[in-house]
Amino acid sequence: MKIENNVQTFFDPYAASSATDKATQARAADAAAPQTEGGDTVSVSQDALLLTEARRTAQNTPDVRADKVATLRQEVADGTYAVDSRRIAQSLIREEPGLFQL
């Protein structure tokens, strides 16, 4: 019985990316290979497709709405920005009911 020291591959991020690259290349080769009858098939549910599309959309959406930030900055600079404390309090009560329990 031969024991190999493969511990470094578990901790080396470059070795892990190399293994990932090899897996990607293997998948690409499988995709390029001609299909044979009786092979395995995969089907993706409509829910999975919707989740994938939602994730893609979320990743492509900017984290900051620049137009809204510019408007608020201008209001603050002009001195016209007003805080509606009643609306903030109502939102706090609605969103965080545990904050007000003793």
Residue 78 falls within a domain, yes or no? yes
Residue 74 falls within a domain, yes or no? yes
Q: What's the pLDDT at 77?
A: 96
Residue 92 falls within a domain, yes or no? yes
Measured between alpha carbons, how far is 1 from 75 in angstroms, rounded to an integer?
Answer: 75
Q: What's the pLDDT at 17?
A: 53
Give the number of domains in the chain: 1
Measured between alpha carbons, how far is 15 from 33 in angstroms, rounded to an integer?
Answer: 27
Residue 80 falls within a domain, yes or no? yes
Residue 1 falls within a domain, yes or no? no
Residue 96 falls within a domain, yes or no? yes
- Report the number of secondary-structure helices (H) and strands (E) in the chain: 5, 0
Does residue 102 carry a pLDDT above 60? Answer: yes
pTM assigned to the model: 0.35
In terms of average pLDDT, the best of 20-24, 35-39, 54-58 is: 54-58
Following CA atoms 57, 59, 62, 64 in sequence, which dihedral angle do they give, to the nearest 10 degrees?
110
Q: What's the pLDDT at 82?
A: 93
Residue 43 falls within a domain, yes or no? no
Residue with the larger pLDDT of the pair 61 and 24: 61
By residue range, what is the domain housing residue 76? Answer: 65-101
**19, 26 in Cβ contact below 8 A?**
no
CB atoms within 10 A of CB 15: 13
Residue with the larger pLDDT of the pair 66 and 25: 66
Residue carrying the six token digits 């920005």 = 81
Residue 86 falls within a domain, yes or no? yes
For 38-91, write each residue's pLDDT tens digit: 778 888 899 999 999 999 999 998 888 899 999 999 999 999 999 999 999 999
